[in-house]
Each structure stands twice: as C-alpha cells, then as structure tokens.
Chains A and B, each alone.
Chain A
C-alpha cells in the first residue's frame, strides 16, 4: 500500500520551493521523497532541479557555487552546466574533455503559481491544484513538519484553519478539503468564495513533510503582510500540535536516519548519434557570415564545452564542422557561424542558400578536440576571421570564471566582425584589429605573446598561414609546444594507418577496425554494441571487457600491475593493442 503510494507520488508534481526562494546565485536545498535536491536558478532564468550530489565523490552540490551558468562542486571544482547537468570541466585534468556520461541526474521541473514544482519521474500533466493557468496567488511561508505525508494529511483533514479576520469578518473556521484531483492539496474558501487558500504537501522524506501555502487572489503590497503573518501563525500552531505528539522537532527528526548506502547511476551508453535539430534563428552575423541557432527537435542536446564543434550532416551528403559559440550554461540551443567559402564545394554554399528558419538539419556532437585549459593565470586567444568562433566560446567561459585572458581578433574590416553582441560583454579583454597586413598582424601577435613566462597558454584559430606564423613566433619566443593550442579552421585530420588494429568479437563474430584517434569503446558503440561506461578515462572499471587473445596495450589506472601483466582484460575506453588483433569476449 505504502509502496504503491510512493510509486504514484514519484510521477506527480510536488512543490519544492517558492520561486522567490531562488535568489540570484543561490543554491536551494531540499528533499523530495527522500531524494536530496540542489535547486538553482541560472542567470538566464532557467531553474535547475538536480540530485544534490557530485558524481565524482558524492559531495553535496548545495555546498557549491552557482556562478550563474554552471554549478561548481566545492570539493574538486567540477563544473556542471545549467539545463543538462553535464560536466564541462574537471580541473584535475585540464586538458581532457569530461565524458558525456559524466552527467548528473536532473529532475523534471515546472514553474507555476509562484512555486517550483518537481517530480522524480516525468509526469504526464502540468501541476494541477484547481487554479486558473494564469493565477498568481500569494505564496505563504512554507514550514517543515515532522511527520510523514500520510500523517500530515490525517491532521490537515481535521484541522480548522481560520481565514484572516479582515477577509471573513465572522471569523468562522473552515475545515480543509482535499482537492479532488490532487490528494496532496487541501482547499479552504471564504464564505463568499472571493478568497481561496490552498495547502500543498511536499513529501520531504519518510518522516517529514513541507506544507506550502497559496492564498488567492493576489493582494496589494500593503495588505500582504498581515495575511502572511496570519497563516504563519496557524501553520506554526499546526506544527506544534504535531510535535507535542511526536516529541521531536521536525528539523531534528531527520538526523536519526542512516545515510543512504547505495546510490543509483545511469550508465546507459551515451552514443554520439545523429540528432535532428531545427534552425530556430538565422541571421546575418557579418559580411559573408550567417549565424544559425539550432534547437533540438526532441529532448536536449548533449553538454558542450568551450572549443567544441558540431558536425552538420547535410542532405547533399556532405558533413561540415562548425564551432559552438555559446557561453557557459547556454545549453537550450547551439549557435554557430557559417562563412560562405569562395570555393565552397557545397557545404557553406548550401547552408547559405538553401537553409531557412524552421528547416531541420541532422547534427552530431558536440565533439571537442580543442579543449580549453583553465589552469594558468593568463590565456592568450588569437583569432583570424571566422576562426573566432571557438574562441568566442572560450572567451565567454574564461570571463565567467574570472580568469585573466585577452582576445585579439584580426579581421579585414569592421563589416567582417562577427558576434559583436557576445564580444561586447568581454570589455577590455577584447581587441579588434581591422585591415592589418600579415606583417602588422605578426607584430601584434609578438607583443601579445611576449617571452614565455611559465604562466600562460595560447589558443589560436584562423586561416592556416596565420596559425603557422603564430606557431613559429611562439617557438621563437620560447613557448613550449604544449602551451600553443590551435585549430585549423579546415578540418585536416590525417589518420595514422600504422596504429590501426582490429578487434574481433568472439561472441558476435564481428571484426572491427580501430583507427588512430578512436577508442575501442567508440568503435563498438558505432557498430551498435552497447557497453556501459562512466569516467572514460580508464579509472572506474565500468567498460571492462575480457580479452581472449592478443596483447593489450594498457593505458588505464584501474587494473593493477599484475592484472596488466596477465593481459586478460582491458578497459575499452583508453586501452589499445600491441598486437594486430585483439579478441574480445563479447
């Protein structure tokens, strides 16, 4: 019986906070049906309801910092993006993009009637408490009561809650009635029906319940306080009655519970499959450059990191890469900039000429081969022309994290400056240089780089001759190669055939090639073989597979020396093969 109730409650909307509880940059902490929640509003207004637990070491995220776009864990500084709760940065490994599987649990959320509503499983409807959709009632002060939701229901059914004196001159008391379609909502009306009060119960955990209250219609500023005080007094008395029975304060009663001893995690493989996206906006960004905003047709996009790009799979069979220019936490859509290439073979030309707002495109990604380290005091960003796109994302991220950086943007003329509205926010970090000759450009690059000081990194993106010149200068100025990061705007990945090996799958009989730059795990997934994974760094042991034949080239830290020696299992996310073929037990 109890289990059934819990099950039903899991897919129902429950109020978990007042919207006004979510102050700017605050992390609100509560529980729903025993699940600890961290609730926070991003600066763009999006309200996130997450499991209150960092995936890494189980730290409560409510201790962390809401930076307006991402929630940063207090323990190791892992950053999680608003909306998706995907991890965007792991400071201990600044050059590695976190795996897409490192994604916190997000709960369904709805904002209605001044309250934040959440559910454990996605409910079918919107929150229903018998109020018109547009109602904006006065939100009363909620109280945590030390009783299970059933016990509190029992008490509310017999409670008598007087309306505020001025509303009901007679001062009559009314019994509360359960709402016909929502058994956790109790109603009370004034005699003339002009005023209604609703109490909605939030099942906090097995022993505690939060009583939320709504008073309608909304009141003028001056008359709100007496009503708020009136109900606060009533609810406080209601709570006291409870406590005199149970002999324990609500806030204390949770202390006796053992902390949960197991935690769920979803290890379903997140495969970088193609998804459908709609062009939700298309605009002229600069001379010869079109901006496009893509929104997912279904669900959410995967989490992006600064420097990441999307693959656009065009109907004409071509695939083109475009960098995501979004700032941190901007996950509801992706924006890209497309320059019409003079010698277009049908990629940019198609996008410029054929694609309109409302059209759909198939995309995959985001992928990140141009990750942004954030472990140096100074980052130099150098952009040439449309090569600015990944650096726009990086600059916004550095700016948000209060890290020092400069962005020098070299363009032909003012008309060629793209994404000005985003660049404007960077203030003095940004310098735009127009119409410089290659020599003049290099002169500025030299000044910007200066002699290597052990405290800097440089990122550059632009036309190949410019990147080559920057790399050359950096070398002359003593910058070690690992501090000079670049992405050619044209994708020029060359596969190293020599490191190709094969995996033969004993159970299914498949033989697959694993090329340089790919992992066994990726290749398996692309061929429809689902394998659970978690850290994708060779640290957690989740993607382990038994090796039947061949000599593994271990690159994990999970197995110990003896296990590496024996060679009979392998972490498919990082390890490779010394022999031409590995036979795996799958």
Chain B
C-alpha cells in the first residue's frame, strides 16, 4: 500500500491526499511532526528525503518527493481515464503543465503568507501577499472568461485536472495568510465547484460548501 509522509496542515501534502482520495487509491498516512517538532528535518527523515521536505510517497519501495511529481506519478499510474493528467491530449496536457507551473507561484506567495501568519515563519509578508494577489487576479480573470465560455475549470474540457487540484489548496487557505478573496468572485465560485466534486476530501481549515 502507498505510504504518504504527511502533515495535516501542509498544502502540498493536501494536494496528494486529494488525488489519492479522488482516485480511491488505498493508502496510509505516516504523520510527521512538522510543527512544532520539525521532524521533517530529522536525521531519519533526511534519509528518505535529503531536502527535508514533505510530502514523500513510498509506493512499495518506490520513493518519490515533491507534490507535483507525486501527483503526475499517481495520475499516470492509477487514473485509467486519464482525466486528471491528460497524457494523450497534447494541448490539454500543455495547459495542465502551464497551470502546474503557475501553482509554484501561488504556493510560494499565498501559502508562504499562511506559514508566516500561522506558524511564525520569517517571510516578507507584504511581498508574499502582493505576489499572491497579482496571481489571483490572473486566475480570477481566466476563470471568469472560462465561465463565459461555459467551462467550469482552469483547462479546456468538461473535467477538472491536476491544474485545478494543485491550485485549489493555495487558494482556499489564502485567508489564513491575510489574503482575502472578496475581490475574486470567479475564484470563489470555482472553489465551490471544486468542493462539490465526488470524493472530494477536506483538510483542517477547508470548510465544506
């Protein structure tokens, strides 16, 4: 069975949990005392991931780190429908990759602001918030025009993809970093739609809708 080295309040771990639950892949969680214990920096964990980051998965001995890499691996291996990562549709695959790159930005701004406000990480909080707002503007505009086109998700097509999945956690928890979503109505609606997906799973801090 897949083992996920996990911390409940980590957005990157949540991305992996979301996909495991969407795909109904049996798994077990190994809780890392990320805070306040800093277990991800411990010697034993650095044997598993020298970078000292979570998430990491262990799929019957195959170790993989970095949430985007893990998601691509899980989708390729366990999503027979190729819905989440459309490997056979070049243009959609490109779109998914584009937004997965974009998510590096939202994680480094919105989710960094959250770590600052919540766990006391030393970041330039104003820069984090400003950066997040600039990205959220792009996101809101894109989603608004997607709605005008009759499309519910970030990429073309009827189904959500990894693009939606990787950006959703940064967005839905942004207010914990002081980044209000009141100015982004299309983002707020998209977040509602995402939460209504079958087999969607919550994390602490994400409210049902």
**Chain A residues close to B by CB (< 8 Å):** 17, 21, 23, 25-26, 28-31, 63, 65, 74, 141, 144, 224-225, 228-229, 232, 236, 249-252, 254-255
Whether A26 contacts B192 in the complex (CB less than 8 A), given A63-B207, A224-B148, comes out as yes
Does A250 lie within 8 Å of B183, measured CB to CB? yes
User: Whose C-beta in chain B lies nearest to the C-beta of A30?
Assistant: B182
Q: Which chain B residues border A65 with CB–CB below 8 Å?
A: 208-209
Q: Which chain A residues border B189 with CB–CB below 8 Å?
A: 21, 23, 26
Does A74 lie within 8 Å of B183, measured CB to CB? no
Does A17 lie within 8 Å of B185, measured CB to CB? yes
**Chain B residues close to A by CB (< 8 Å):** 129-130, 133-134, 136-137, 141, 144-145, 148-149, 178-185, 188-189, 192, 207-209
User: Whose C-beta in chain A lies nearest to the C-beta of B188?
Assistant: A29
Does B145 lie within 8 Å of A74, measured CB to CB? no
Does B192 lie within 8 Å of A249, measured CB to CB? no
User: Whose C-beta in chain A lies nearest to the C-beta of B149?
Assistant: A225
Whether A251 contacts B183 in the complex (CB less than 8 A), given A29-B188, A225-B148, comes out as yes
Q: List 28 A-B contacts (CB under 8 A).
A: A17-B185, A21-B185, A23-B189, A25-B192, A26-B188, A28-B185, A29-B181, A30-B182, A31-B182, A65-B208, A74-B207, A141-B141, A141-B145, A144-B182, A225-B145, A225-B148, A232-B141, A232-B145, A250-B183, A251-B136, A251-B180, A251-B183, A252-B129, A252-B130, A252-B133, A254-B182, A255-B129, A255-B180
User: Whose C-beta in chain A lies nearest to the C-beta of B144?
Assistant: A141
Pick the residue among A26, A228, A249 that contacts B145 (CB under 8 A). Answer: A228
Min CB gap B52→A, angstroms: 32
Q: Which chain B residues border A229 with CB–CB below 8 Å?
A: 145
Min CB gap B91→A, angstroms: 19
Does A228 lie within 8 Å of B136, measured CB to CB? no
For chain B, what secondary structure do more than half of its interface residues adopt (helix, strand, loop), or is it mixed? Answer: helix
Does A255 lie within 8 Å of B178, measured CB to CB? yes
Give CA–CA (A536, B182) in the complex, Å.
34
Does B129 lie within 8 Å of A29, measured CB to CB? no
Give CA–CA (A141, B130) in the complex, Å.
22
Give CA–CA (A568, B136) in the complex, Å.
59
Q: Which chain A residues border B179 with CB–CB below 8 Å?
A: 251
- Given A141-B144, A251-B184, 20 other A-B contacts at CB below 8 A? A17-B185, A21-B185, A21-B189, A23-B189, A25-B192, A26-B188, A26-B192, A28-B185, A28-B188, A141-B145, A144-B183, A232-B145, A249-B134, A250-B183, A251-B133, A251-B136, A251-B182, A251-B183, A252-B130, A254-B180
- Which of A23, A65, A249, A251 has its CB near the most chain B CB atoms (within 10 A)? A251
Q: Which chain A residues border B144 with CB–CB below 8 Å?
A: 141
Q: Which chain B residues border A228 with CB–CB below 8 Å?
A: 145, 148
Q: Which chain B residues border A236 with CB–CB below 8 Å?
A: 141
Whether A29 contacts B178 in the complex (CB less than 8 A), given A63-B207, A229-B145, A232-B141, comes out as no
User: Whose C-beta in chain B lies nearest to the C-beta of A74?
Assistant: B207
Min CB gap B154→A, angstroms: 17
Give CA–CA (A255, B207) in the complex, Å.
22
Min CB gap A144→B, angstroms: 4
5 closest Cβ pairs, A-B complex: A144-B183, A251-B183, A251-B133, A249-B133, A29-B182
Min CB gap B88→A, angstroms: 29
Min CB gap B177→A, angstroms: 11
Give CA–CA (A254, B178) in the complex, Å.
10
Give CA–CA (A128, B119) in the complex, Å.
50
Min CB gap B140→A, angstroms: 9
Min CB gap B123→A, angstroms: 16
Q: Which chain A residues border B149 with CB–CB below 8 Å?
A: 225
Q: Which chain A residues border B137 with CB–CB below 8 Å?
A: 251
Pick the residue among A23, A224, A225, A250 that contacts B192 (CB under 8 A). Answer: A23
Give CA–CA (A23, B144) in the complex, Å.
13
Q: Which chain B residues border A26 with CB–CB below 8 Å?
A: 188-189, 192
User: Whose C-beta in chain B lies nearest to the C-beta of A37?
Assistant: B182
- Which of A30, A232, A255 has its CB near the most chain B CB atoms (within 10 A)? A255
Give CA–CA (A254, B179) in the complex, Å.
10
Give CA–CA (A29, B175) in the complex, Å.
14
Min CB gap B176→A, angstroms: 13
Give CA–CA (A534, B148) in the complex, Å.
45
Does B130 lie within 8 Å of A249, measured CB to CB? yes
Q: Which chain B residues border A17 with CB–CB below 8 Å?
A: 185
Q: Which chain A residues border B209 with CB–CB below 8 Å?
A: 25, 65
Q: Which chain B residues border A23 with CB–CB below 8 Å?
A: 189, 192
